[in-house]
Structure 1
Amino acid sequence: MSEHTLRLFFALPCPAEQARAICKWRDEQALDGLPVTRANLHLTLAFLGAQPAESIESLKRLAADLDCPPFALTLDRLTTIGKGFICLQPSAPPTALDYLAAALRAQLAAQGLALDSRPFLPHLTLTRHAHERARGHAPAFTWTVEHFVLYASENVPGGVRYRELGSWPLHAPGTADEAATDAD
């Protein structure tokens, strides 16, 4: 077994149109902290941390077996979580979002992956390392979530890049068309 590991997580990618709108709004607010790049905006479903590169294929198979219908996601609450993460959150998380995160986490746990024990807290990080807290409402940024992704977090000159390793469509139970589509 190789000692090569990747920093992995499952997430909902923010569609390009919404990412542009969110970044424009964020920049107009002059929020404290270091802005997350537009290409990196996402909502984490399950953070896996450092995993052996050999585990990617089993993670892809696990993701392909999940059933969850597409759903509308609205991020409309501005808040600070943890130590300086200014985020957008849904004021009313969709039931399907909670279901998808719980099903994914249950499958990962069944494969023996130790996950963070904190409850699922849906959020999209806008800035990191903020010294001032942000709270309040934001415009409603809404999109239909139709797929989820496995990402590898990679350090690159000037920051971090999230490389897509696989993507899976959301579908109601019993309506799966295809399994996963692999990213290049």
Structure 2
Amino acid sequence: MPSVPEPQDTGLLRLFFALPCPPEQTAAICQWRAGQALPGRPVPEANLHLTLAFLGAQPASLLPELYRLAQTVHCPAFELRLEHLDSLGHGFICLRPSRTPVALDQLATLLREALFEHGLVLPDSRTFVPHLTLTRQAPQHLHGQAPLFAWPVTHFGLYQSYNDAEGVHYRELASWPLRPPTPAPI
């Protein structure tokens, strides 16, 4: 089981489960984004991810339970393909899949159900919409095709969001593997 990080002064940690964006894809996405002159404030390269479940502020004492809960989530690995540019919510420009992988929906659903069964009420109860945020505070909406950014998703993680003088940072606290995909019959 992962070690429990030192809690902040308040004893609360801002937490979320997510899929990390691999470094080579992060670099390619940021290079493409820079050439697009997208409106809004760019999300820092180190912060690119796809959120599965946002937990909000939770007591640090809950981490061991979250680690146990995540170990019960069993899902196959899959390929994530982001090729659609879209605006979500108020001012978020994102990359989204044209077709959501079944395993991604399953992973998000299993995580959310496990959290609910353990008495955690998520601050965001909206339907899961897979996306990777590129910019925030965009004054206009965009929709269209983007180049294909794809990678094999082999694990998910629990992350802490924290602020310092340099901005918002995300730190992976722990990660869990997805099982290898079942080969298609011949």
- Correspondent of 1:167 among 152, 175, 181: 175
CA distance in 2, matches of 1:31, 1:158: 22
> Secondary structure of 1:127's partner?
strand
Q: Specify the alignment match of 2:4 in structure 1.
A: none
Contact 1:152 1:162 in 2 (8 A): yes
Contact 1:79 1:88 in 2 (8 A): yes
- Correspondent of 1:32 among 33, 39, 44: 39
**Normalising by structure 2, what TM-score?**
0.90
CA distance in 2, matches of 1:139, 1:49: 32
CA distance in 2, matches of 1:16, 1:163: 15
> Secondary structure of 1:22's partner?
helix
Q: Specify the alignment match of 1:177 in structure 2.
A: none
CA distance in 2, matches of 1:75, 1:161: 23
CA distance in 2, matches of 1:83, 1:158: 24
Q: Specify the alignment match of 1:133 in structure 2.
A: 141
Identity percentage of aligned residues: 60
Change (3 A) 1:67 1:172: farther
> Is 1:19 matched up with 2:19?
no
Unaligned runs of 5+ in 2: 1-8, 182-186
- Correspondent of 2:52 among 42, 45, 55: 45
RMSD: 1.3
Q: Specify the alignment match of 1:9 in structure 2.
A: 16
**Normalising by structure 1, what TM-score?**
0.91
Number of residue pairs the alignment of both structures matches: 172
CA distance in 2, matches of 1:28, 1:135: 17
Contact 1:45 1:101 in 2 (8 A): yes
